[in-house]
A and B are shown apart, each in its own frame.
Chain A
Amino acid sequence: MTKVLEVVDISKYYIHKTGWLPGKKICALEPISFSLERGETLAIMGETGSGKSTIAKLIAGAEVPSQGDIFLNGQRLDPHNYRQRCQHIRMIFQDALRSLNPETSVGAQLAEPLHFNTDWDQEKKTSHVVETLRKVGLLPDHYNFYPHMLSSGQQQRVCIARAIILEPQIIVADEAFVALDPSIRAQIINLMLDLQQDMGISFIFVTHSAEIVKHIADKILIMHHGRLIEFGTTEALIKNPQQELTKNLLHAESKHNVLTHSTIQE
């Protein structure tokens, strides 16, 4: 296995400015480094505000890191060069509806990355969009739909279609499954696992759900107050967690299950 992604000492500071005085520096992410191999799934877990979304955004390029570099197959990614990055790293946002343009049809939105990253003619773009829609379990008819006409599961599928349409090497999903109900969530996760097998994509998930993590992740990264506190394989972290927080995060779901179970019995 080869290293697809290497993150070296990236950090993010925001400057909170009030008035004319020089602003206060707020740390969202302290310098962290990790790497990801081809076809691997990394889960990022942590409490709210622990910087896990920041990592996702930095990798996807939605935010510019304050310092540090990201290397893709040994090549440095320029934080301002979106075209270089989007051919290899794509992002799925938390809120599917908000990340789709309400005034543009689904087909036109999916053709957008093709328009800027390929030199295909209109016919080839259209057929590729239709093919991608099929891949995520939508119909060619959805080409002319507008985002608000789709159900939330379908909207999420469109977002996945947008992420895979350029056949990237890495997909970053920022809490993409929170808003979905369990059956659709399972469907979408299975869909993503299938795509991973077919296309050899590496995934980076940001999630709260210990169940999903146990199900799909190869490695887990635990964040706390903008710091990386534990990083290891799923097996190791579940069997032998070094930190209290890790234990809580990974076993929260099972405690919850016991509770619901007991109430049903009553």
Chain B
Amino acid sequence: MPNASIYFQQREPSPLRQIWLHMNTNPYAVAALYILGILMVIMVLSPLITPYSPDQQFADAISHPPSWHDEGEIRFLFGTDDLGRDLLSRIIAGSVYSLGYPILAVAIAATIGITIGAWAGMSSGVQSSTLNHMLDVILSIPSLLLALVIIAILGPALHNVMIAITLVLIPQFIHSVHNAIYDERYKEYVTASRLNGCSRWYLLTRVIFPNITTVVVMQLTLALSTAILDIAALGFLGLGVQPPAPEWGTMLARSLDQVYLSPWTMVLPGIALFLTILSINVLGDSIRTAIQERVRNV
């Protein structure tokens, strides 16, 4: 383009940057973003930043209250549990189970679900409905119940829980992506692109996909909060992650006996879980509104 840089020009921000700018005006979204960002960093760095090993027991400090309590010690910032294990280390190490594994499950489910959903959306007739309804049987059972069935057969273990959660999430992705693509597919701009001689792959990835990001983002956040809650719930029931591992749900279940003696062993993992789910939902919701706002008119 000639003479582009002679005068100052106000450039239109790119779509991604517009979404970012719109999100920045919402303080809750920014707070959620920071909380989630910090949680992610903590999760990735958890082997390095835990002050003690999560399984190390201190015989001299059993059920120590948190450091802000009169009897607390700064050595154990969040106090210790009834076996003398440092709670801060356990919560930090637990983020891998309670946040990392759900992210992994959602990533796998999204990859498979979006692929099949896109394929179903771009094809038509019997092929389309076969792909679309392939995994519908799973939808008839609530995710927690299906996880229970799988665990009843294969035994309680983290990988069984992961299989169950991934399986449950896939059909939801298939349906939402299929419906979104089906809605877009017969719109005029797609026909116009088709008349441009575009290949089907280009049509899907460059023409239709940018217009269904709202649906995908919404489904991703929904799936992530479901996955976190399910893993925590199964841990709480003693069917998922097994006790010595510092999973937040498991920690909640263990602390149930001593809730009156040492309430911090229940409150602190509970707060961690609550903050994670809340920030994911707030963030997902504000990204969705930002995308819609951008389309509606800046």
Contacts and interface: CB of A to CB of B under 8 A. Distances in A.
A binds B: yes
A117 B199 CA distance: 11
Interface string A142-158: 01111011000000000
A154 B88 CA distance: 61
Interface stretch (A70-78, A82-90, A176-184, A249-257): A82-90
A162 B210 contact: no
Interface string A89-105: 01101010011111110
Given A93-B188, A103-B210, A145 B195 contact: no
Contacts of B295: 102-103, 148
A87 to B, nearest CB: 8
Contacts of B298: 148-149
B194 interface: yes
B246 to A, nearest CB: 43
A60 B194 CA distance: 11
B25 interface: no
Given A104-B210, A146-B12, A99 B197 contact: no
B192 A93 contact: yes
Contacts of A95: 188
A90 B297 CA distance: 29
B12 A100 contact: no
A121 interface: no
A62 B195 contact: yes
B297 A101 contact: no
A112 B193 contact: yes
A130 interface: yes
A82 B191 CA distance: 11
B206 interface: yes
A196 interface: no
Contacts of A90: 195
Given A98-B187, A101-B207, A104-B210, A126 B1 contact: yes
A103 B15 contact: yes
- Chain B interface: which size bin? 20 to 34
Nearest to A130: B1
Contact of A113 (B9, B197, B206): B197
A104 B206 contact: yes
A178 B160 CA distance: 61
B197 A82 contact: yes
Contacts of B211: 101-103
A99 B194 CA distance: 11
B11 interface: yes
Nearest to A98: B188
B189 interface: yes
Nearest to A83: B197
Interface of B: 1-2, 9, 11-12, 15, 187-189, 191-199, 202, 206-207, 210-211, 295, 297-298
27 contacts: A62-B195, A82-B194, A82-B198, A86-B195, A91-B192, A93-B192, A99-B189, A100-B189, A101-B189, A101-B207, A101-B210, A103-B15, A103-B295, A112-B198, A113-B196, A116-B196, A116-B197, A116-B202, A117-B197, A126-B1, A130-B1, A141-B9, A144-B12, A146-B15, A148-B295, A148-B297, A162-B196
Given A82-B198, A112-B198, A148-B295, 12 more contacts: A61-B195, A82-B194, A85-B195, A91-B195, A98-B188, A98-B189, A100-B189, A101-B189, A103-B210, A117-B196, A148-B297, A149-B12
